[in-house]
Amino acid sequence: MRVVTSLRLSLLHQRGHLFCWVPVCLGLGIGMYFALPVEPTVAVLVGIGPISLAFAWLTIGQEADVGALLWMVALVLAGVCLAGARAHSLAGPVLDFRYYGPIEGRIIAIDRSASDAVRLTLEDVVLAEITPEETPTRVRISLHGSGVGTAPTAGKLVGTTGHLSPPSGPVEPGGFDFQRHAWFKQIGAVGYTRVPVLAMATPDNNGGIFGFRMRLSGAIQERMAADVAGFAAAVTTGDRSAIPEEVTEALRGANLAHLLAISGLHMGLLAGFVFGAVRFCIALVPTVALRVNGKKIAACVSFAAATGYLLLSGGAVSTERAYVMTVVVLMAVLLDRRALTLRAVAVAATVVLVLQPEALMGPGFQMSFAATAALVGVFGWLRDMQWHLGPKWLRPVSAVVVSSLVAGLATAPFAAMHFNHVAHYGLLANVLSVPVMGILVVPAAVVAAVLAPVGLEAVPLWGMEQGLWWILTVAQFVSGLDGARGTVPSGGRWVLPVIAWGGLWLLLWQGRARVAGVAVVCAGFWGSTQAERPDVLISDTGGIVGVMTPEGRALSKAKGQGFVAENWLENDGSTRDQEGAASLWPGETSRVPFVELASGGRLIHVQGKTGKALFEGCAPEDIVVFSTAFDEQLPCDTLDVKDLEALGSVALRFEGGTPLRKTAREVAGRRLWNDAEVRGQ
């Protein structure tokens, strides 16, 4: 009974602070939906909605503590329902075979692939001998080869001849699920072309907003030096297609990649600069300043500027979050309320989760809200404690240092788990770069936008160029320092949820019990150190095999399957490239590579028809992987391309000499995005 009483008192103590838990409960329900091993039927999802409403209705007339628990259940169920409804609403055809032939479609997005190739996303797709009902809503193709033909233009109807295949599953069990990502992007096929892309027709509306973005991006790039042109286009229009891979890597190595994403920093700087500039202009005219509320007028103008920036940027999750936060802050100014609070962060998170529940699973949402919540929480605590960051002349610098440190610590676990790297000198790089972004780059971009209609944008664009040049110089210097970038192996699937829950508890819970969040975070970090990597990894095509050795992951081939190999090595926390990892292969390196296993047998990798012709058989304790179909009966355990198509990538661990197998399909379950039978129900 004491436990119940203590719990009720704790909940009562949270009164006035419970709204911040709304997105947490929604996120818990959304996470539960994505963790399900089997796709819930439409009938189940439809039934969850009324149950959620029933729990919300039961809160009427209840005491505050009981009402809070009922609301929690209602919101969790609502999260499950929202995620399921969103997944079904985006249902579309998914290619179920390898296609080669003509591809036609209208360009709706242009970016770059992991191999630094220009990549087009097409809709209104037409494929030869495939009915409209079976044609994917969207396809994405990378432009390889020397001649790419017509310059990609937003909204243009184009045609080419290329290869398409279904979106691939995780490169290893429990890894990033590209099939799920593609489903929510309505991408039903991915592939490449090595022949020119030809224009079929010009866009009737010049590509709409996307077309305007790309034209503006091109205009900015024409007026700036080549080394910063792509960077300038990214921070103003969200177009990253012109950023060289070496620039992206330098920014990542210095923990400055967040400057590429139009997020809270950019949106806040833009709104803040416009707000301050409008107030300053009003104050210059005393007659006007004495008769109007300059603060509220400035807030309205800032709102218009932020809205325009949102439309211009393409509306990524980080931009949407920043926009909602900005709107909440400006509304608080209009209503004479405190602006920067965790409630504003909670409102932004709730809006994003309601509109795009799948965003919860992406690193953009996680890192963006982790940094924002931590910054608002820490600076709010400093404000409430009336602690000052040194004398007035030092406070701007101190604020940058503290904000960079807090944001870096808050996002570090997510960067480590998603990208397997840690930037050791990120604080130094941010201290040297973020002030330049705020003092020079963003104000110069705003002034250039104002002066562009009268042709006077050259000077502010030059100032913007100098600021971006400085940031890139810092990034290249810091990323080039010894030990600038560390690697970490992937942890278990539960590590990030545990760390996130501990951080949320520490930030949102009121009272002394909040310190328990520190213990939960520590438990998550401890768990990440206990995760063990698979002894053997097999790709879902059978095209490459990786075996863990004392020196690291050894690969069965030095070329081919580069994306899979790169991800395996990153997840191991290895700094080797594919060729270096192939040199570690401890067994035979002939046309039929094999390696001795802990179980006493051999792992044999039979590659292609040539390898099949050279294959001499196996012993009962062997494991043989074929990259082609193989129908003969063998005394050993075999996996051919048909088996792997059904199982997905495979991981093996040896315990007591016995191989324990885990497949990507077992971990991912039977869901809309990976199972045609589920989609057909």
Are residues 570 and 432 part of one domain? no
User: Number of H helices and number of E strands within the chain?
Assistant: 26, 17
Query: Tell me: the pLDDT tens digits for 139-150?
Result: 999 988 755 555
Of residues 445, 439, 442, 470, the one with CA closest to residue 460: 445
Percentage of the chain beyond pLDDT 90 is 23
- Tell me the CB-side half-sphere exposure of residue 631, using CA atoms within 13 A: 0
Boundary residue ending a domain (54, 89, 124): 89
Are residues 239 and 318 part of one domain? yes
Are residues 562 and 483 part of one domain? no
Q: What is the pLDDT of residue 315?
A: 66
Are residues 477 and 328 part of one domain? yes
Query: Tell me: the pLDDT tens digits for 598-630?
Result: 777 888 888 888 888 888 888 888 889 998 888
Whether the pLDDT of residue 152 is over 80: the answer is: no
Whether the pLDDT of residue 205 is over 70: the answer is: no
Residue 207 sits at φ, ψ, to 5 deg, of 85, 5
The answer as to whether 603 is a domain residue is yes
* Mean pLDDT computed over 197-210: 71
Which DSSP letter does residue 513 get? G
Whether the pLDDT of residue 270 is over 70: the answer is: yes
The answer as to whether 213 is a domain residue is no
* Mean pLDDT computed over 132-144: 92
The residue segments making up the domain with residue 380 are 234-487
Are residues 554 and 476 part of one domain? no
Whether the pLDDT of residue 251 is over 90: the answer is: no
The one-letter code for the residue type at 500 is: A
Whether the pLDDT of residue 103 is over 90: the answer is: yes
Query: Alpha-carbon distance 675 to 663, whole Å?
Result: 15
Q: How many domains does the chain have?
A: 5
Q: Over the chain, what is the mean pLDDT?
A: 85
Percentage of the chain beyond pLDDT 70 is 93
Query: Tell me: the pLDDT tens digits for 553-591?
Result: 999 888 888 889 999 998 988 888 888 998 888 766 566
Are residues 21 and 37 part of one domain? yes
Are residues 515 and 612 part of one domain? no
* Mean pLDDT computed over 227-233: 84
Are residues 255 and 181 part of one domain? no
Q: What is the pLDDT of residue 412?
A: 84
- Is 466 in contact with 440 (CB distance < 8 Å)? yes
- The DSSP-derived string for 418-470 is HH-EEETTHHHHHHHHHHHIIIIIHHHHHHHHHHGGGT--HHHHHHHHHHHHH
Q: What is the pLDDT of residue 181?
A: 92
Choice among 19-23, 351-355, 403-407 with the minimum mean pLDDT = 403-407
Is the dihedral angle over the CA atoms 447, 448, 452, 457 positive or is it negative? positive
Query: Tell me: the pLDDT tens digits for 109-123?
Result: 888 877 778 889 999
Q: What is the pLDDT of residue 189?
A: 94
Q: 275-289: b or e for each residue (b if 16 or more CB lie within 10 Å)?
A: bebbbeebeeeeeee
Query: Alpha-carbon distance 513 to 256, whole Å?
Result: 35
Query: Alpha-carbon distance 578 to 564, whole Å?
Result: 10
Are residues 515 and 566 part of one domain? no
Q: What is the pLDDT of residue 622?
A: 87
Are residues 526 and 541 part of one domain? no
- Is 171 in contact with 112 (CB distance < 8 Å)? no
Higher pLDDT: 1 or 157? It is 157
Q: In what order do the strands lie in the sheet with 637-639?
A: 594-596, 602-606, 623-626, 637-639
Are residues 454 and 339 part of one domain? yes
Of residues 644, 662, 680, 647, the one with CA closest to residue 39: 680
Query: Alpha-carbon distance 17 to 282, whole Å?
Result: 38
pTM over 0.85: yes
